[in-house]
Each structure stands twice: as structure tokens, then as C-alpha cells.
Chains A and B, each alone.
Chain A
Amino acid sequence: DTEVTQTPKHLVMGMTNKKSLKCEQHMGHRAMYWYKQKAKKPPELMFVYSYEKLSINESVPSRFSPECPNSSLLNLHLHALQPEDSALYLCASSPRGVAGVTDTQYFGPGTRLTVL
């Protein structure tokens, strides 16, 4: 089973709200990723967690705060977002997440976020 689940499917929030996106996988994968995808564009990497430690932060603004409570869960906490942050937020996981070893990323269905 190569399933990554994401909740909620859709989210509408105001610029002063605080909300969280959730991602879960039960494949025993040790790396998890957050991507942002704008319309008609490829996904852009935001964060990478490897063995529950943040290993990559692609200069993402601090209004996005990732959290990896355990190896199966990945959260993205949102606060004081801007309308231009509206996008599809994709979570992915991969088995190993270790440099030097080919890994395959499996994506969830995404959360479509609208910031008003």
C-alpha cells in the first residue's frame, strides 16, 4: 500500500487565522516532505524531514511552521498567511531519506488552501 493521506482536502482561512495541515503515512517511510504547488506549475519543495529531523528548509517564510511528531505524521502549521499563499499543498514520503541512496517519493492528494 503506497498511500499518503492528507487532511483537510480543502481549507479556507483568513489572514489572521491559525490552522494546520496534516499528513499521515503508514508505510514505514523515514522521510517526509511538504511541497507547494501553484496553478499550472510544478511542485516546489518547502521542507524535508528525515528520521523525524528537519533536514531541508527551502527558505520558507516563518508563517509556515512544520512539525514531525513521529515517523508517521507530518504537520504544517499556518499563521498570518497572505492571499498569495493560496495553493495546493502536497505531502510526500519516501522509504529512506538518506543521501546517496535512490529514493522514490509517494505523494498525497493534497490540501487546497485558499487565503482570503
Chain B
Amino acid sequence: GNSVTQMEGPVTLSEEAFLTINCTYTATGYPSLFWYVQYPGEGLQLLLKATKADDKGSNKGFEATYRKETTSFHLEKGSVQVSDSAVYFCALSEKTGANNLFFGTGTRLTVIP
């Protein structure tokens, strides 16, 4: 079956620190992988995506590389800001079936000045 496992939060970092949020997946086929971000009181925003192995998705200083050999899609940012405080969801979508999104449990990030 399909599933996504994210590192447990919450994560608290100081401004300008390096961020890694781990995400691993299990899929029956060749999924597309996504990171969504949810700011307090808002809906989900697509942060970045990768559709095949070795693809790197990047946006707003965040990046993640689709690693088929380790079934991972870890999110990284070199220098976080207070405005990055949010919940981050890793998700996958299989190409072989309906376009269901399978979400991880979410990781809450708090960045302190």
C-alpha cells in the first residue's frame, strides 16, 4: 500500500538555523512526491514537488530531492525565518491510480527570533 512517514514534531529552531524535515514513503508504483505547507488558520499551499527519481523540487529557499534508493524526500532549508513557522506535510500521489494524495502526519515548525 501507500504511506508516508514524517519525522515527529514539533521542531523549534532559531532564526537562520538549518532545517531538515525527514520524509520517507512506501508506494506500490512510481509516485510523485510533494511538500505542502499550512500556515496557522489557513489551507494547504503547495511548496514543491518532484515527479521522478533524482528530481529536485525547490521553492522559496526550500528544496527536496526524490531519492528512490532510500525512498525519501527530505525537506531542507539553509536558513529559516520566523515567517517559515507552519506545519509541513509530505505527500505522495500514485500515477497508476486515481490522483489520491497520501499525507504524512505533518511536522510543526516554530522559528524563534
Are A107 and B95 in contact, with the CB atoms below 8 A?
A: no
Are B93 and A103 in contact, with the CB atoms below 8 A?
A: yes
CA distance A41 to B108 in the complex (A): 11
**Chain A interface SS verdict (over half):** loop
Bitwise, B74-113 to A at CB < 8 A (1) or not (0) is 0000000000000001000101111111011110000000
Bitwise, A92-110 to B at CB < 8 A (1) or not (0) is 1010111111111111111
CB-nearest residue of chain B relative to A102?
Answer: B32
Are A103 and B44 in contact, with the CB atoms below 8 A?
A: no
Bitwise, A78-116 to B at CB < 8 A (1) or not (0) is 000000000010101010111111111111111000000
Instruction: Give the residues in chain A near B106, CB-CB below 8 Å.
Output: 40-42
Instruction: Give the residues in chain A near B49, CB-CB below 8 Å.
Output: 104
- List B residues 14-61 near A (Cβ within 8 Å): 32, 34, 36, 42-46, 49, 51
Contacts known (A42-B106, A45-B101); A107 close to B44, Cβ less than 8 A: yes
Contacts known (A41-B105, A107-B45); A102 close to B93, Cβ less than 8 A: yes
Contacts known (A55-B98, A99-B97, A100-B96); A106 close to B104, Cβ less than 8 A: no
Contacts known (A45-B101, A99-B97); A109 close to B32, Cβ less than 8 A: no
Are A103 and B46 in contact, with the CB atoms below 8 A?
A: no
Instruction: Give the residues in chain A near B34, CB-CB below 8 Å.
Output: 104
Instruction: Give the residues in chain B near A88, CB-CB below 8 Å.
Output: 43
Give the interface residue-count category, chain A: 20 to 34
CB-nearest residue of chain B relative to A2?
Answer: B46
Contacts known (A99-B96, A102-B95); A110 close to B101, Cβ less than 8 A: no
CA distance A77 to B50 in the complex (A): 35
Instruction: Give the residues in chain A near B97, CB-CB below 8 Å.
Output: 99
Are A56 and B51 in contact, with the CB atoms below 8 A?
A: no
Interface set of A (CB-CB < 8 Å, partner B): 2, 4, 6, 31, 40-43, 45, 48, 50, 55-56, 88, 90, 92, 94, 96-110
Interface set of B (CB-CB < 8 Å, partner A): 32, 34, 36, 42-46, 49, 51, 89, 93, 95-101, 103-106
